[in-house]
Amino acid sequence: MSGTPDGLVPSNVPVRLMDTFIRAHSERQAMDWALVLVSQGIETVIDRETLGNGWALRLTAQDHERALRSIHQYRLENRRFGWRQSLPGSDWTYHWGVAGWMIVCAVVFYFQPKLERGLFDSAAVRRGEWWRAFTSVWLHQDLGHLGMNLVFGGLFLGLAMGRYGAGFALLTGMLAGALGNLFGLFLRPENYVGLGASGLVMGALGMLAAQATPLWRAGRWGARLAWTTFCAGAGLFIVLGTDPSSDVIAHGGGFVGGLLGGAIGALIPDRIRPVISRFAGILAIVLVAVTWRYVLVGQK
- Picking from 202, 260, 265, the residue whose alpha carbon sits closest to that of residue 236 is 202
> Do residues 51 and 64 lie in contact, with contact meaning Cβ atoms separated by under 8 Å?
no
Measured from the Cβ of residue 49, the count of other Cβ atoms closer than 10 Å reads 15
Strand positions, DSSP E, the chain: 8-9, 20-24, 44-47, 55-59, 84-86, 93-95, 120-121, 193-194
Class of domain 8-80 as given by CATH: alpha beta
Calpha distance 158→55 (Å, rounded):
22
Class of domain 93-297 as given by CATH: mainly alpha
Residue 212 has pLDDT above 90, yes or no: no
What average pLDDT does the segment 65-81 reach? Answer: 73
Residue 75 has pLDDT above 80, yes or no: no
pTM: predicted TM-score of the whole model, two decimal places: 0.73
Residue 14 has pLDDT above 50, yes or no: no
What average pLDDT does the segment 4-12 reach? Answer: 41
**pLDDT band for position 208 (50/70/90)?**
very high
Residue 17 has pLDDT above 50, yes or no: no
> Do residues 134 and 170 lie in contact, with contact meaning Cβ atoms separated by under 8 Å?
no
Sorted by where each begins, the domain ranges of the chain are: 8-80, 93-297
